[in-house]
Amino acid sequence: MKPLVEILNDKCNLSYSCVRVCPVNAIEVKANRDYARIIPDRCIGCGSCTSVCPENAIIYRDSKSETKEILESKHKKVAIVAPSISGEFHDITDYRKFVQMIKLLGFDYVNEVSFGADIIALKYAELFKNFKGKYYITTACPVVVSHIQKFQPELVDNLAPLVSPMVATSKIARKLYGNDIKVIYIGPCIDSKDEANLFDGDGKIDSVLTFHELRELFDEFKIKESKVEFSEFDPPIGYKGSLFPIANGLLQAASISEDLLEGEVITAEGKMNMLNATKQFHKDIDTIKKHFNLYYCEGCLMGPGTTKNGRKFIRRTRVTDYANKRLKNFNKKRWQEEIDKFWNLDYSRTFVNDNQRIEMPSEDRINEILKAIGKEGKNPDLGCNACGYSTCRDFAIAVAKGLAKADMCLTFSLRNRHDYIKALKSTNEKLAQTQKALQESEEVAQKEKEAAKEASDTIGRMLQKLPSGVVILDKNLKIIHSNDSFIELLGEEAKSIDEVIPGLIGADLKTLLPFNIYNMFTHVFSSNENILNRDIHIEDKLLNLSVFTIRKGKILGAVFRDMYSPEVRKEEVLKRVTDVIDKNLAMVQKIGFLLGEGASETEQMLNSIIELYKMSKKE
């Protein structure tokens, strides 16, 4: 099954707006990747990221095709509709026409989730009334449930053991019409798509449509209010469950008191209020001594499956107006009979500990990253938010956890770019001076240049033929030489630089590799202890890395082998390298004259590579 929420790589422009709004750090930005990625296991389905992306690069799982297949089947089809419709579909003037529009899509029955909300509200009242010292968190909001299971599993036992109104209504529909029906929920929440997959039997929901998807189906089937007649919801009809879209509506549906002096339940809605509430419930429930009624959104009427930029209090007014209109001539006796009829169905549920928390990195590691991004000695609890994290410390923690990359920091990125530009400018000036000197001595050194060029080309071709990535670095860890295989391993960003600076000559290694891999090179340089055959990961690649000293304190070499590639024919490479040394040693001496390095250094570079391959072969 596709992830609930995903980012379209080709549209992502790394604005980090999604990173800023994600409440659980479920969005990662890796080194050498020019797009963000949602981590499905950490995602709680809140949908915050879907509404803030300036490029509309974030989408949630589409259920329209699945729904249309169900509507074409021979089964009886039941639509169970969330009471938030009154706040969302303001453009449809009469709810009875709305019901008929849904039936024209192919549904046999259209039932109200507000009746399921009535049942669950009364079950909460019963649970709270039978208080035995344990305080509960309501479970009508699937995002709250997902957040607790994944990021505060210590509160799993405090989740009220009741299904949501959506699942309760499915159970009621199957009791009414039989188990051989298809139930499709229509509502404002995208996490309901994942919640629906948790239930089988009488609680099974075959598909979940958001209000936005329902509008798209109306457009596709050319169904308009002006062309349809009236049609009532199929019974049972909801009572005060119609207020469920408002955060405290579920409590009012069961007449659960919210009196500040005597009430036993606290209601909190909205991202920050919900997050703070769960933290305080865990820490201070013995002082607070209340049940918590929590919603991630500002009531279900503002869910991510509704039309964007909706006005909360206008929607709230429409919900209450709709409820008042329905309740004027409400047959409460008939409603009570229906409640009694479905009261004894099994509305219980259990929860799991799905801990997705990442272990907090050490203070030394955090301080190391703060130093690397130029924040050492500064207040780490401040930040510009450009990276998507509220403070520099939070950003450093995310980098240490592997959720972010250092160059997301604007200060770090600008400083590196300035240093890189200065280095390139200096390199270009030196190249110009060298070119001038070569031109002045061209007549004298023509034959030497030709010989050097031939030897250099031979060596270059040899390195380019190697299937493994090879890079040679100076004492500042800037690239002296690299082959195509190395550039290929780094990805698209390195290829773009290679088009401007062939072979990445002069490039700073720390701008090309993840921070932890760059540290291996600095370790070898400072300790003169080679690192051989170390398995590493770069993005989705498994590589074998060897870093070794070519010239102590001056030159390093490294070989990256792709562990997923076919076996390299090592004997042939060894033979070719040895032949080049024997045949071209004299030419290499001339290369040393032009490149500023002696033939012994060149031989040493090549012999180091040979030794690496011999060692790999023995292992």
| pLDDT tens digits for range 381-434 | 666 666 667 677 777 787 777 777 766 775 665 555 555 556 666 677 777 777
Same fold, 1-61 and 443-618: no
Q: What does the block give as tokens for 160?
A: 């009220």
Asked if residue 218 lies in contact with residue 68, where contact means CB atoms within 8 angstroms, the answer is no
Q: Domain 1-61 belongs to what architecture?
A: 2-Layer Sandwich (3.30)
pLDDT recorded at residue 279: 95
Please indicate, yes or no, whether the overall pTM of this predicted structure exceeds 0.75: no
Paired tokens of 408 = 């997301």
Indicate the domain borders of the chain: 1-61, 64-342, 358-440, 443-618
Helix pair 211-220, 64-71: axis angle to 10 deg: 60
Give backbone dihedrals phi and psi of 297, rounded to 5 degrees, phi first: -80, 170
Q: Could you tell me which of 403, 361, 405, 395 has the C-alpha nearest to residue 518?
A: 405
**Fold topology of 443-618:** Beta-Lactamase (3.30.450)
Beta bridge partners of 557: 472, 548
pLDDT tens for each residue of 205-236: 999 999 999 999 999 999 998 888 889 999 99
Query: Nearest CA to 406 among 297, 513, 258, 566?
Result: 513
ω into 235 cis (within 30 of 0): no
At 309, give phi and psi (nearest 5°): 65, 25
What span, in angstroms and rounded, lies between the C-alpha atoms of 252 and 157? 25
Question: What pLDDT does 21 receive?
Answer: 86
Per the listing, tokens 């649970």 go with 127
pLDDT of residue 336: 96
Q: Which positions of the chain have pLDDT values less than 50?
A: 568, 571-572, 588, 591-592, 599
**315 within 8 A of 302, measured Cβ to Cβ:** yes
pLDDT at 572: 47
Residue 137 main-chain phi, psi, to 5 deg = -110, 130
Q: What is the CA radius of gyration of the chain?
A: 33
Q: How many CB atoms lie within 10 A of CB 326?
A: 20
Q: Classify residue 444 as left (phi > 0), alpha (psi -120 to 50) or beta.
A: alpha
Assigned token pair, 162: 């009741």
Q: Name the one residue in this structure whose structure tokens are 């500990």.
A: 353
* Interstrand relation of 76-81 and 181-187 (parallel, antiparallel or unpaired): parallel
For residues 499 and 41, what is the distance between their CA atoms, to the nearest angstrom? 38
CB atoms within 10 A of CB 410: 14
pLDDT at residue number 418: 54
List helix spans (H) across 56-164.
64-71, 85-88, 95-104, 113-129, 142-151
